[in-house]
Amino acid sequence: MALTDLKIRNAKPTDKQQKLFDERGLYLLVTPAGGKWWRLKYRFGGKEKSLSMGVFPDVTLKQARERRDAARKLLANGVDPGIERKVQRAGAAERAANSFESVAREWFAKQAPGWAATHADKIMGRLEKDAFPWLGGRPIAEITAPEVLAVLRRVEARGALDTAHRVHQNCGQVFRYAIATGRAERDVSADLRGALPAARHTHFPSVTQPSEVAGLLRALDAFQGTFVVQCALRLAPLLFVRPGELRTAQWSQFDLDKAQWRYTVSKTKTEHLVPLASQVVAILRELHALTGQRTYVFPGRDVKKPMSGAAVNAALRRMGFDTKTEITGHGFRAMARTILHEHLRFPGEVIEHQLAHKVPDALGAAYNRTKFIDDRVRMMQAWADCLDKLKAGAHIIPIRGGTDPALN
């Protein structure tokens, strides 16, 4: 007799497996543990075989019969349904391995060790948010240029044109990796050059007029947040390193007796030396009493990790500064570059080396961490002294042709 839902639900497990037969080879296997598995009994090539049809109640009696009928059609056409299932699964596994997301994550895993953590997070964040939902499951070799353009248009439509260009760039990198690994024949994103409007790049907002610096510095000193963040705010203009390099600074990189900080530049992966002004050393010695036993100079809530990347900008906003139009943690670099060159008259190449920028010289050396080191030591102390005097109400009076301005 054919099975019914009631009979299936009332079937109780025993100490042995039970087979409850339906029709045309379909039966329900009831295990001693209480599991109920659909099976199809059939013959192919003179051999008796069994094919799984799913688990009850996830697969209902009606669905199991539909699967049985589909399998018997294959048999009628001379196809073993068990072999056909293996072929389909292998094809699905291959398509999954060659999907855009799989290739992208493989490419990312190869490249990420050479990137700064913040840079890597931004790339994967863009892919996960703007590309994977629409392209992730598609075989990369089958993706067309219009599909990629549709992804970019969605990003552009929300007003993030610069991000759209970066997604375009990242997609191109993934396609080129797929070509190199034999999973695609061409980079279809290359067909989209010029499809997006040119992005307008803006600089990080910064305070670059000496007359405005005093108020900013006094506001930093008056910050009422945690002592760790307060120290980070006081040091940011004095050191003018990249925000990620400041917040991830480790005590092992500092020699306070020699007034030096050595670390690896996040962008160029080169060693960098920051001479520490006496004011900086004083702040660090005070902070060392609190965090000196930790790895990071500025630990976060989880003391095993550095301070949040958003902490400095969040503190600036708490003090009333607009981080979109006035100042950001990165803006202290522009502040130092502008005032050191235009008002304190330090040579541009000395400033650029201290900023850890690549500045090719006549001998072709792109960067040397100790080049101009005597000038940089003097410059960093002069900069700290200048900020102290500005904070106290002095005014810069540039002396043309010199590097020692007067302040009154």
- Give the residue numbers marked as catalytic: 242, 267, 330, 333, 357, 367
- Residue among 33, 38, 39 nearest 56 (CA): 38
**Rounded Cα gap, residues 341 and 133, in angstroms:** 48
Q: Tell me whether residue 112 is exposed, middle or buried, using C-beta atoms within 10 angstroms of its C-beta: 0 to 12, 13 to 18, 19 or more.
A: middle
Residue 176 main-chain phi, psi, to 5 deg: -65, -35
How remote is the C-alpha of 297 from its chain's centroid?
Answer: 23
Measured CA to CA in angstroms, residue 361 lies from 345, 355, 356, 366, 371 at distances of 20, 16, 14, 7, 11
**Rounded Cα gap, residues 69 and 65, in angstroms:** 6
**Rounded Cα gap, residues 342 and 346, in angstroms:** 8
**Rounded Cα gap, residues 247 and 312, in angstroms:** 9
How remote is the C-alpha of 26 from its chain's centroid?
Answer: 51
Map residue 38 onto helix, strand or coil.
Answer: strand
How remote is the C-alpha of 124 from its chain's centroid?
Answer: 5
Amino acid of residue 340: L
Strands (E), 7-108: 18-21, 26-30, 36-44, 47-55
Map residue 260 onto helix, strand or coil.
Answer: strand
- Residue among 12, 200, 178 nearest 99 (CA): 178
Q: What letter does residue 183 receive in the DSSP assignment?
A: S
Q: What letter does residue 94 receive in the DSSP assignment?
A: H
